[in-house]
Amino acid sequence: MPGVSGWWRDFGAARFGRPVAPRPIVRTGLLARLDRAFDEPGREQAHRAADRDAGLAPDRERPRRPADPDAGLAPERSGTLPGQGLSERAEAGQEAGSDRAAGAPVVVVVAGSGAGKSILLGQWAERRGAVLVQAEELPAEVPPGALVVVDGVERLEVGGAGWGWVVARVGVVPLVLSGREPIPVAAVDRLGAGHLAFGEDETYQVLAAALADAAGADRLAPDLHLLTGGWPGLVGLAAAWLARVPQAERAGSLRQLARVDGGLQEHLVGALVGVLDAGERELVRRLAYLPAVDAGRADVLGLAEEWGAVPPLVVPARAEKEAFVVPEPLRKTIQQRLPLAEAERQALLEAFQGM
């Protein structure tokens, strides 16, 4: 198996404490594929890759397609998101900018929560010097020659100003558009759930780092990969949970996942919360109701003693330095598993807002 890299390595090395600066796994192949779409010599390769994924190549070359996470395995597809009109247009083949397809390249990345889209695009934007923005924060002006990465496109309403901003720049500004629902624009390449799912070797890397036990991970990784479909969010949750389970019980605990009735993500969040120590559990419980919190605010809120990452339930915030946050896809489940009384919740929010 390949060597372990990224923030799961840090997690494994510090699993009796908490990592100070977790780093995501570097997915070299996906980063290179994004590069090719925007580099003139590689543009034709990107087109060929998109054609293969559309079914023009033998089955063995097609990307993996994980199942739906709500069925207990992998990426979800919600039918209630505000941008559902975009999905309907995509399904009808109504692609914006098709008359400008020969212009500036556009890449579309679509997969459910827990796919690692934001991490991947953050890495790519940093190495390319691209402008990375959330769909709600679209800039009025784009610097000449800039690459723009827009995350959360499913939150844009058809007919709204945000979607109009995107349509006006398709084929004009080099774009990467990312979301949880199909995005109806003409694109030189499209990445989906099958591309973002881990291969078995990546599942092994995550597990080996979390367990700090390469041989143990080698035995467990095939089953973990099969049970999770290689979905990054599920692999991360399961690895963090198994790292806190006694070594002799890990294989049996993992086999029990096959019997889970309901969503696997919800089950794994509950299982991981159940093996946290009391201080970590209280930190997770309170942060699930708050935006990103830095050390100063944590001290005021009485959270300083346990302050730090509890991956993957509490991770560094992207927008704020030295701040931590509960990822949005996990908040609701944590709130259900670790509820705050209404009076306690109000007091926490008022204390935060008063800072």
Least confident of 27-31, 315-319, 331-335: 315-319
Average pLDDT, the chain: 83
- Reference 114, options 237, 23, 271; nearest CA is 237
Least confident of 1-5, 57-61, 166-170: 57-61
Q: What is the pLDDT of residue 100?
A: 82
Helix (H) or strand (E) holding 190: strand 189-191
- pLDDT bracket for residue 69 (50, 70, 90): very low
> pTM for the whole thing?
0.78
Q: What is the pLDDT of residue 63?
A: 41
Q: What is the pLDDT of residue 2?
A: 44
Q: What is the pLDDT of residues 91-132, one digit of tens each?
A: 666 787 788 867 899 999 999 999 999 989 999 999 999 999
CA distance 184 to 94: 6
CA distance 202 to 3: 10
Query: Residue 209, Cβ neighbours under 10 Å: how many?
Result: 25
Q: What is the pLDDT of residues 168-178, one digit of tens each?
A: 999 999 999 99
- pLDDT bracket for residue 15 (50, 70, 90): very low
More confident residue, 348 or 20: 348
Q: What is the pLDDT of residues 75-85, one digit of tens each?
A: 333 333 344 47
Q: What is the pLDDT of residues 297-327, one digit of tens each?
A: 999 999 988 888 899 999 988 777 789 999 9
Backbone angles phi, psi at 301, to 5 degrees: -85, 0
CA distance 207 to 214: 8
CA distance 196 to 179: 13
Q: What is the 3-state secondary structure (H, E, C) of 246-302?
A: CHHHHHHHHHHHHHCCCCHHHHHHHHHHHHCCHHHHHHHHHHCCCCCEEHHHHHHCC
CA distance 293 to 282: 14
